[in-house]
Amino acid sequence: MERMNFDLAQVPLRELNAFLHRDAPAQGVQKVVVTNPDGAHNIAVGLDCPIDVEVHGHAGYYAGGMNKTGTVTIFGSAGTGVAENMMSGRVQVKGFASNGAGASMHGGLLVIDGDAGLRCGISLKGGDIVVGGSVGSFSAFMAQAGRMVICGDAGDALGDSLYEAVLYVKGSIKSLGADARIEPMSEADYAAVKELLDAAGLQHDAGLKHDPRDFKRVASARSLYHWNADADQEY
């Protein structure tokens, strides 16, 4: 069996997720198509097999969360926490992603074709996020590792309390957060941006081709790494 269809207007979400967790790997199902999601929460969470899941419509909270090796494509927008705590694999949102997209990701690739809301990539621990549009305030807050490419603009406090994650921004940055700074781009940075744009497919869509040399590098100044007794607790 190569493909299964689930119409969430006819079957409960619990049945879909149970199939993805248990029956799909056992039966060798390669692709699952979900229709009429109607903003349901927790679609395709906790995938632990190399399966392709297409969601045709809008998803609610935590779609594709805790993903491991799966590929989830949402042909619509996604609610809070899409791809939250993803370990590997790929999650792509063809529309808008709400708050906390890619929160605490450890690996894999999250692609958001449109804009992302507040705190995109919060507490990022690894993996890559590519946003075709803009991101909201406090994106990459406390991002510890991994990379983000933002093809549009960034809101307030980008990279606040940033650790070792690196951000690449093409558009304007409203403000940088504590300890984040703009650094010179190197040839390795240009190559990284090209690699990520290619992986996201954004270099090939009409009207969305980007030049890596138009991006700025945002990284940590590392002044928050150590307690400074003379700073009077003000940073």
Whether 147 has a pLDDT exceeding 60, the answer reads yes
Higher pLDDT residue, 134 or 206?
Answer: 134
User: If pLDDT is split at 50, 70 and 90, which confidence band does 206 have?
Assistant: very low
The predicted structure's pLDDT at residue 234? 57
pTM value is: 0.94
* C-beta neighbour count of 63 within 10 angstroms: 33
CATH of domain 3-222: 2.160.20.60
Please give the mean pLDDT across all residues of the chain.
Answer: 94
The predicted structure's pLDDT at residue 231? 62
> What is the distance between the alpha carbons of residues 215 and 164, in angstroms, rounded to a whole number?
18
> What is the distance between the alpha carbons of residues 134 and 79, in angstroms, rounded to a whole number?
16
For the chain, the domains span 3-222
Higher pLDDT residue, 208 or 87?
Answer: 87
For 52, 147, 165, 180, the CA distances from 212, given in Å and listed in that order, are 30, 14, 18, 21
* CB distance 18 to 10 below 8 Å: no
* Tokens representing residue 13 in the block: 């979400």
59: left (phi over 0), alpha (psi -120 to 50) or beta: beta
Whether 157 has a pLDDT exceeding 70, the answer reads yes
> What is the distance between the alpha carbons of residues 35 and 28, in angstroms, rounded to a whole number?
21
> What is the distance between the alpha carbons of residues 219 and 89, in angstroms, rounded to a whole number?
25
Question: pLDDT above 90 covers what percent of the chain?
Answer: 89
Indicate the range of 104-113, 152-161, 183-192, 195-204 predicted with least confidence.
Answer: 195-204
The predicted structure's pLDDT at residue 170? 98
* Tokens representing residue 115 in the block: 């804009």
